[in-house]
Chain A
Amino acid sequence: MEIRRQPLQTEPQKFNLKPDELRVRQLRARQMLRGELEDSELGSYVESRLGLTTLAKAQNWARANAPWPLTFGLACCAIEMISVVGSPRTDAARFGAEVFRASPRQADMIILSGRVSMKMAPVIRRIYDQMLEPKWVISMGACASSAGMFNNYALVAGADRFIPVDVYVPGCPPRPEALLHGINRLQEKIKGQPDLGWRERYGAHGTEEVWGRTDTESLDHRPG
């Protein structure tokens, strides 16, 4: 069940109650609960005042709002990564991702910020293996995603050759806003929203090519 949010009580008179008036209201509500509300009414009354969810969703919600990154910079992208945390313009603390942990045991995600050299790849893999589950990887920039402008013996052409990558952030280097957007996409992924395919992003439902089918209208179409 979804988390039900009560509308915020913004009427000023409700906050300006005197203590004895508040007490009167509490007693009246208690009497209502005792006798005057019937089964279904009582149920809806209680339900409207409770937030119900599954444990898994609450767990994912908590995880998504505190993805602590590892203190780990590879190259020039790391400067942009630092500015995501360090500058008030893009403050990663708004999304709970500002606590860079210096130990992989305490980190939830690793941001591959820069080119990955042949010699660094086993080190990154070891650090990734040292991180505790659940863990996520953001590949930041063109180099970590595909070796970028480099095409030679020294660099690994894409960090996803040795490590599972969750989010790719394009750019050379990406702006801090782009990395923050990548963190937000990762949060959506952690929360279990699968809206990460390009069809969802571009509103391209109905373009699937299915063999033998012509009624593409009947395919799952969600606008926007």
Chain B
Amino acid sequence: MIDATGLELIARSVRSSLGEGTVRETIHAHGQATLDVAPQAVRDVLAHLRDDADEPFDFLASLHGCDYFPREPRLAVHYQLLSTERRERLGVRTRMTVEDAEAGAVPTITDLWAGADYQEKETFDFFGVRFTGHDDLRRLHMPEDYEGHPQRRDFPIGGEPVLFTFNEHKVPRWYE
């Protein structure tokens, strides 16, 4: 388990080898260490953590998107790294606006971990993050002709209008 000091050491090693602007922030909360990196530098940081770091992380446990609406920048991609040798976990997060995400601000990491293929497809499907360099980026869960990215928080919930006691007078002729 990485403590706050260890997280700062990791951030310093990344900054010294890849540049000051790569790691924007370090977050140590709820016993979990996370690096907040710039979208353009994600692939380099992850490659550094996997191959060149003194204490490498060899396994990509998860890759997923997140929407922090209404905070800006809204969208985020989370990478959960695991060292199977030291049993340490490190989160890498990158945040970007919707426009940057759709313009392809985040590079793909399928060349580092092939298992990221489906997870990047899923993140594109649900959040609309276009990973540049992904050779087969298409919808994974939703139908091929679906419009929109349904896990964004401003996406309409769909289905039937839900009646609660606070809005029952707003839905016209709800009693029928």
Contact = CB atoms under 8 A, between A and B. Distances in A.
A34 interface: no
A154 B150 contact: yes
Looking at chain B's contact residues, the main secondary structure is: loop
22 contacts: A118-B142, A118-B143, A118-B146, A119-B141, A119-B143, A147-B159, A151-B158, A151-B159, A151-B160, A151-B162, A152-B150, A152-B157, A152-B158, A153-B142, A153-B150, A153-B155, A153-B157, A154-B141, A154-B142, A154-B150, A155-B159, A157-B160
Contacts of A153: 142, 150, 155-159
Interface of B: 141-143, 146, 150, 155-160, 162
Chain A interface residue number, banded: 10 to 19
Looking at chain A's contact residues, the main secondary structure is: loop
A152 B126 CA distance: 13
Contacts of B160: 147, 151, 157
A150 interface: yes
A157 B159 contact: yes
Interface in A148-206: 150-155, 157
Nearest to A150: B159
A150 B159 CA distance: 8
B141 to A, nearest CB: 7
B63 to A, nearest CB: 21
Could you say which of A147, A153, A155 has the most chain B C-beta atoms within 10 Å of its C-beta? Answer: A153
A123 to B, nearest CB: 11
Nearest to A119: B143
Contacts of B158: 151-154
Nearest to A118: B143
Contacts of B146: 118
A119 B142 contact: yes
